[in-house]
Amino acid sequence: MANLDLYNPSEEHKALREMVRTFAERDVWAQAREYDRLEKFNRPLFKKAGDLGLLGITVGEEWGGAGMDATAAVIVHEELSAADPGFTLAYLAHSMLFVNNFFQNASEAQNKRVLPKVISGQWVAGMGMSEPAVGTDALAMRTTAVRDGDHWVINGNKMWITNGCVDDSELGDCFLIYARTGEARGKAISSFLVEKGAPGFRLGQRIKDKLGMRASATAELVFEDCRVPADALIGAEGESTLHMMRNLEIERLTLAAMSLGLARKCIEIMNDYASQRQAFGTSIRNFGQIQRYIADSYAEWMAGRAYVYATAAAMDPAAHGNRMDSDGVKLYCTTMGKNVADRAIQVLGGYGYVGEYHVERLWRDAKLLEIGGGTLEAHQKNIAADLRRVPVLR
């Protein structure tokens, strides 16, 4: 009988991890440095992820997805991020921000038309929530959608959109776009399917020269009297604040899982290097400060891993109500991942500062996870607010 545990709670989860780890070590790791240097999204590799059935991990099998749970989503993000967090971020924007969100909230007809294309990897998708002047306070968004007969007319800009473009000049294929359809804060937000080629929809600036996550393309999306058909509305008008908040929970969980993957790889690299590197006639792992870097990193990674998988076990991708711990795992793990990467550079010294040993890339990628999908400050605010209603912890 297989050794099943919190991290592989079923044979299916164990097989998924083995398959994704093989893909990550064989295909994803091999291209990571090159695509980071080129600041380029690897679309052929993305299509391979579709061929492996990874792009619809939480979508029902009747729609061509894997029909798996939040733990499965965590496994995929952890394993991919150990090889290339930049590619993994593009995967997350597609599979969680668009595919999971769309599947949970779209109509049967919408799912029937769109899901086969995004699950196969034929289409690259993303989600538009942030704006040039609106980030953490998403409910203050300024993008509007106004009904005009058989169409909706969208005006506004979306910023920092992962998969906004697939190269320097080509839009991603489709997006789930949040827009204001009324005056009341929060209750007036609706979401729309906007496809490449929609009149009035164009690519704004391609955001280059990022610190990290360079293998995921980031762009501005511009809507100038963009017309989409009436049936592009996802769900009912004005109900998408719920869609947004529900999907933020699994987004934050999987971003935390990305931190687990990159931290694990950093620990492996510094542990191996500490055994090989000699100084003053002995391996540097015999020095107390090096031991502290390695041991603290391992303990913090294990603590974060237990928290992430416990939270995943309690999460239903189709529901919401676990904001405190989805915020908590991202608050803890993203800083943990950055700190572990920083220690790995310190252990490797000058070698850690150059690309050959990969930890400098992982360190650069790690910083974005403290910002994207909710800042550390937003998580602290949310957790403190939620704890006000829970005076006794059990």
Q: How far apart are the first and last CA of the chain?
A: 34
Instruction: Return the C-alpha torsion angle 42, 339, 246, 179, nearest 10.
Output: -60
| Burial class, 139, CB count within 10 angstroms (exposed 0-12 / middle 13-18 / buried 19+) | middle
Active-site residue list? 251
Per-residue DSSP letter, 216: S
Q: Measure CA 25 to chain center.
A: 19
Please state the length of the chain: 394
| Nearest in space to 129 (alpha carbons), one of 366, 370, 383, 374 | 374
Taking the C-alpha atoms of residue 285 and residue 171, their distance in angstroms, rounded to an integer, is: 49
Q: Which residues contact 161 (CB under 8 A, 6 or more apart)?
A: 126, 127, 128, 130, 175, 218, 219, 220, 221
Per-residue DSSP letter, 7: S
| Nearest in space to 157 (alpha carbons), one of 227, 222, 228 | 222
Taking the C-alpha atoms of residue 212 and residue 195, their distance in angstroms, rounded to an integer, is: 28
Residues 311 and 317 sit within 8 Å (Cβ to Cβ):
no
